[in-house]
Amino acid sequence: MVSKAKKSDYKVIGTRPIRHDGYDKVTGRAQYGADIKLPGMIYGAVLRSPHAHAKIKNIDISKAENMNGVFAVMTAKDLPRLTDKQRGNSEESGSEKHLSENVMAFDKVLYKGHVVAAVSANDVNTAREAIKEIIVDYEVLKPVINVDQAMDKDAPILHEDFIGDHLGKKVKNTNIATYNRYKIGDADDAFKKCDLVVEKEVELQTVHQGYIEPHSGTAIWDEDDRVKVWTSTQGSFSNRDSVSKVLNLDVSRVKVTPMEIGGGFGGKIPVYLEPIAAVLSKKSRRPVQLVMSRTDVFDASGPAPGGKVIVKIGVDKNGKMLAGYADIRLEAGGYPEAFIEAAAKCVFSCYDIPSMDIEAYDVLVNKPSSAPYRAPGSPQVAFATETVVDEICKKLDMDLIDFRLLNVAEKGTRTALGPKYRKIGLKEVLEAAKKSDHWNSKLEKKSVNGKVRGRGIASGYWFNIGEKSAVNLSLNMDGTVILTEGSTDIGGSRASIAMQAAEVLGINAESVRPSVVDTDSIGHTDVTGGSRTTYATGYAAYKAAHMLIDEITSKAAKIWDISEGDIIYKDGILSSRTDSELNMTLREFADRNPFGPVVSSASVDLEEAAGGFGTHIVDLEIDPETGKTDVIRYTVLQDVGKAIHPSYVEGQLQGGATQGIGWALNEEYFMSDDGKMLNSSYLDYRMPIALDLPMIETVLVEVPSEDHPFGVRGVGETPICPPVPAISNAVNDAIGTRILSTPIKASKILNTLKSM
């Protein structure tokens, strides 16, 4: 692990204090979504469609309603019908109608597991028995389960009344929700001038974020038509917006209290159970709690889109890229949004290509509605691009890193969507890769026990969304500071936010006490996602800390009866320029201050920032008799801007890489022809375990961002982008053939070896 910043630059930033919420989390005291118990609380269960595509003809809830122990039963009849109004950008797009229908189906079910009804009862087992008594009359329809089937001219249509947007043209009777195209320069012409053109098509299966904590939702709908929600969410405010929308209430009538969250990776941005809990609570006049089973999580919560990606790159004889073309087809699931804009943004993001032409399709299929998964759209396209790059290097006999450096994207490079990059650090990352221990170590192609080995390298990118955050600070009587913020903490963010405030205030990290609070207690704060939290909420903390110092110095000036300009505030100590006798610590100040509570409040609405590029190097070993692949060495290099708490930055790199490794080698939605996920358990949806991995080396390259006072770049998402192609390239290095579909599982490797 290498940090290039001088240790002495900062007092708190770059250190590794114990996270403030750590003690609660290692003792089991921390309360996650399903841990909350409210007085009088009852439990709910949901009825889910067994069919991937069907019309709902009738739902008979009479038997369930009359069961002993059942309080209430609901169907979509209990929800308002919403309009086609688009919801906008952020992490949840599509229309209001789609949001609501995904929570509970109105007329049609679009994936196995789609909710059709729900029950509240004394205890969860009674509720589960009761949903079995609900009789649903379905007219089963033929499903489409991948982009090819969905785009076929005779394909059954998921949304009969939906109007697709195909490059601005409104199109009916289509499963292509959106078709868009992006052009820079003249790629057709540029390809003709190339000395070498390489094209590859890759296919990816649907994968799930795999967070260990299932979704839950606990709600009270009270006599004043106010709804209180307790949930594990990546965004209390986006949750509040969605819940209030589905229930047709003003936003102010809903209060969301975020519980601790057991993983999200984007998947805990959409709402699922909260509106259901609220309606059941209204009908039961009790607090209601619903928790998803693991099967439900797989069947019905948003996975990451599978799909097909074609990338074609043309170079001149020296290896300079002249043209790039991509065809991106991603599965949106039952409702629109397959993150094709982001995919288009990222496909050529690592390279300076003067002419680009990208076509992208957002395709409806009978699978659960796709949700963001750590850099949504980017890993899918990185697979294709980094495969093509690897192939070009082989054909031109060029070094894998030198080629990338020759074509590297840097400040001023025009991106596929149009704007030019501001300051970015891919060049520095590639140079660090070139110098790295891993890259310079020799890899024996054959191990003693007959296994074959290969090495692969790949790059990837995700940007940082900015958006809104608010932070409040308050000085305690003992000179410590309370910090309240609204960013739910998935991976140590409350510590890094507190550290940024502590750095400004000149006190130690432990002296700033952070809390993540509910939607009534803090200004609007956007989701913990999009790699924005350390950047944006940290910036708000930075601002609030400066404002607190202003408050302190103004009050200290009054205490000492000197001018504010004479006050020096440094490292938590107040002194005077003009009188060396005047000296007090924050604690002494707090004690002496008669001018009222010392508080500050700051908010930001930040622009998108350039984010950090990553390059991964992987060595793997394949057993030619079983096809099993072991990762034997893995290095993650990434531009992190400035690592506030290096341990948690390293953690993001290691965690994201591990998810990518699972995506590359084992993970997939294994679907039956009629659209049912056959491996909806952790046994068969095979995520990496401790035994699958070596230690994951991390190299933190720091090219400070221009957009944050400490140079912070959000790091969370980029690490999942390079692993799939890095591993695919390594497999090719080992066995001499590319496997261009995920997962690159043992059976595929064996079949490939047999056919060679």
Partner 1 sequence: MSENNVRKVAINTTINGQEMDILVDPYVSLLETLREVVGMTGTKEGCNDGNCGACTINIDGRIVDSCLVLGVEAEGKNIETVEGMATPEGLHPLQQAFLEEAALQCGICTPGFLVSAKALLDNEPKPSEERIRHWLAGNLCRCTGYDKIVKAVKKASD
Partner 2 sequence: MIKVFLPYKTRKLFDLPVEIDAEGNNLRNLIEFLDIKYPGLKQELVDDEKLKPTISAVIDGRTTRLGLIQKLDKVSEIHFLPSIAGG
Among 148, 327, 518, 608, binds partner 2 (CB under 8 A): 608
Among 14, 113, 336, 376, binds partner 2 (CB under 8 A): 376
Q: What is the DSSP letter of 653?
A: H
Which are the contacts of 501, defined by CB distance < 8 A and separation ≥ 6? 471, 473, 481, 483, 512, 541, 542, 544, 545
Contact code string over 59-88 relative to partner 2, x by CB under 8 A: ---------------------------xxx
Nearest to 531 by CA among 459, 458, 606, 457: 606
Cα–Cα distance for residue pair 243/254, rounded to 1 Å: 8
Could you give the 3-state DSSP secondary structure of residue 274?
helix
| Listed ranges 262-270, 313-321, 475-483, 727-735: which one lies at the site for partner 2 (CB under 8 A) | 262-270
Task: Judge whether 184 and 260 are in contact, CB under 8 Å.
Answer: no
18 forms part of the interface with partner 2 (CB under 8 A): no
Q: How far is the CB of 266 from partner 1 (least distance, A)?
A: 12
**Window 92-131: residues binding partner 2 (CB under 8 A):** 92-93
Start-to-end Cα distance in the chain: 40
Which are the contacts of 462, defined by CB distance < 8 A and separation ≥ 6? 346, 375, 378, 531, 611, 612, 717, 718, 721
**Residue 261 contact partner, candidates partner 1, partner 2, none, CB within 5 to 8 A by sort of partner:** partner 1
**Residue 462 contact partner, candidates partner 2, partner 1, none, CB within 5 to 8 A by sort of partner:** partner 2
Among 24, 60, 173, 419, binds partner 2 (CB under 8 A): 419
Q: How far is the CB of 494 from partner 2 (least distance, A)?
A: 20
68 forms part of the interface with partner 1 (CB under 8 A): yes
18 forms part of the interface with partner 1 (CB under 8 A): yes
Residue 534, classified by CB atoms within 10 Å of its CB into exposed (0-12), middle (13-18) or buried (19+), is buried
214 forms part of the interface with partner 1 (CB under 8 A): yes
**What distances in angstroms separate CA 541 from CA 48, 61, 491, 493, one per listed residue?**
43, 51, 18, 12
Q: How far is the CB of 215 from partner 1 (least distance, A)?
A: 12
Q: Which is nearer to partner 2, 255 or 345 (CB)?
A: 345
**Residue 168 contact partner, candidates partner 2, partner 1, none, CB within 5 to 8 A by sort of partner:** partner 2
Q: What is the DSSP letter of 155?
A: P
Could you give the 3-state DSSP secondary structure of residue 461?
strand
336 forms part of the interface with partner 2 (CB under 8 A): no
606 forms part of the interface with partner 2 (CB under 8 A): yes
Q: How far is the CB of 710 from partner 2 (least distance, A)?
A: 19
Task: Judge whether 356 and 324 are in contact, CB under 8 Å.
Answer: yes
| Structure tokens belonging to residue 305 | 């889109």
Q: Which is nearer to partner 1, 66 or 125 (CB)?
A: 125
Q: Which is nearer to partner 1, 26 or 568 (CB)?
A: 26
Query: Sheet containing 599-606: which strands, arranged edge to edge?
Result: 512-516, 481-485, 467-475, 599-606
- Taking phi over 0 as left and psi of -120 to 50 as alpha, with beta for the rest, 375 belongs to left
Could you give the 3-state DSSP secondary structure of residue 660?
helix
736 forms part of the interface with partner 2 (CB under 8 A): no
**Residue 466 contact partner, candidates partner 1, partner 2, none, CB within 5 to 8 A by sort of partner:** partner 2
Strands 288-291, 216-221: pairing is antiparallel
213 forms part of the interface with partner 1 (CB under 8 A): yes
Q: Which is nearer to partner 2, 328 or 375 (CB)?
A: 375
The amino acid present at 45, given as its one-letter code, is A
461 forms part of the interface with partner 2 (CB under 8 A): no
Q: Which is nearer to partner 2, 306 or 572 (CB)?
A: 306
Alpha helices (runs of H) in 33-117, residue ranges in sequence order: 62-65, 96-103
| Listed ranges 75-83, 352-360, 514-522, 650-658: which one lies at the site for partner 1 (CB under 8 A) | 650-658
CB half-sphere exposure, 229, CA atoms < 13 A: 36
262 forms part of the interface with partner 2 (CB under 8 A): no
**Window 255-274: residues binding partner 1 (CB under 8 A):** 260-265
Cα–Cα distance for residue pair 347/358, rounded to 1 Å: 9
| Structure tokens belonging to residue 593 | 């201050």
Task: Judge whether 491 and 716 are in contact, CB under 8 Å.
Answer: yes
Contact code string over 499-538 relative to partner 2, x by CB under 8 A: ------------------------------xxxx------
Instruction: For 598, list phi and psi in degrees, rounded to 5.
Output: -100, 110
211 forms part of the interface with partner 2 (CB under 8 A): no
Q: How far is the CB of 291 from partner 1 (least distance, A)?
A: 8
Q: Which is nearer to partner 2, 389 or 720 (CB)?
A: 720
Instruction: Evaluate the CA torsion angle 147, 337, 213, 631 in order and state its sign.
Output: positive
628 forms part of the interface with partner 1 (CB under 8 A): no
**Residue 517 contact partner, candidates partner 2, partner 1, none, CB within 5 to 8 A by sort of partner:** none
- Count residues contacting partner 2 (CB under 8 A)? 50
Among 448, 477, 695, 756, binds partner 1 (CB under 8 A): 695
354 forms part of the interface with partner 2 (CB under 8 A): no
| Listed ranges 33-41, 88-96, 131-139, 418-426: which one lies at the site for partner 1 (CB under 8 A) | 33-41
Cα–Cα distance for residue pair 674/141, rounded to 1 Å: 10
Among 4, 29, 57, 193, binds partner 1 (CB under 8 A): 29
**Residue 262 contact partner, candidates partner 1, partner 2, none, CB within 5 to 8 A by sort of partner:** partner 1
- Taking phi over 0 as left and psi of -120 to 50 as alpha, with beta for the rest, 308 belongs to beta
Which are the contacts of 334, defined by CB distance < 8 A and separation ≥ 6? 102, 110, 111, 114, 158, 364, 365, 366, 367, 368, 369
Question: Other CB atoms closer than 10 Å to residue 171's CB: what's the count?
Answer: 15
| Structure tokens belonging to residue 311 | 């990338």
Among 230, 462, 613, 663, binds partner 2 (CB under 8 A): 462
**Residue 538 contact partner, candidates partner 1, partner 2, none, CB within 5 to 8 A by sort of partner:** none
Q: How far is the CB of 635 from partner 1 (least distance, A)?
A: 12
Could you give the 3-state DSSP secondary structure of residue 54?
strand
Degrees to nearest 5, angle at CA 589 with 588 and 590: 90
Q: Which is nearer to partner 1, 28 or 565 (CB)?
A: 28
**Window 106-125: residues binding partner 1 (CB under 8 A):** 123, 125
Task: Judge whether 553 and 569 are in contact, CB under 8 Å.
Answer: yes
Nearest to 709 by CA among 525, 490, 538, 459: 538
Q: Which is nearer to partner 2, 339 or 589 (CB)?
A: 339
Among 3, 5, 11, 32, binds partner 1 (CB under 8 A): 32
Among 28, 168, 565, 596, binds partner 2 (CB under 8 A): 168
Q: Which residues bind partner 2 (CB under 8 A)?
A: 86-93, 167-168, 180-183, 209, 265-267, 269, 337, 339, 341-342, 345, 371-376, 417-422, 462-463, 465-467, 529-532, 605-608, 717
Q: Which residues bind partner 1 (CB under 8 A)?
A: 16, 18-19, 21-23, 25-32, 34-35, 37, 67-69, 123, 125-126, 129, 209-214, 260-265, 291, 293-294, 490-492, 645, 647-648, 650-652, 654-655, 657-659, 681-683, 687-691, 693, 695-696
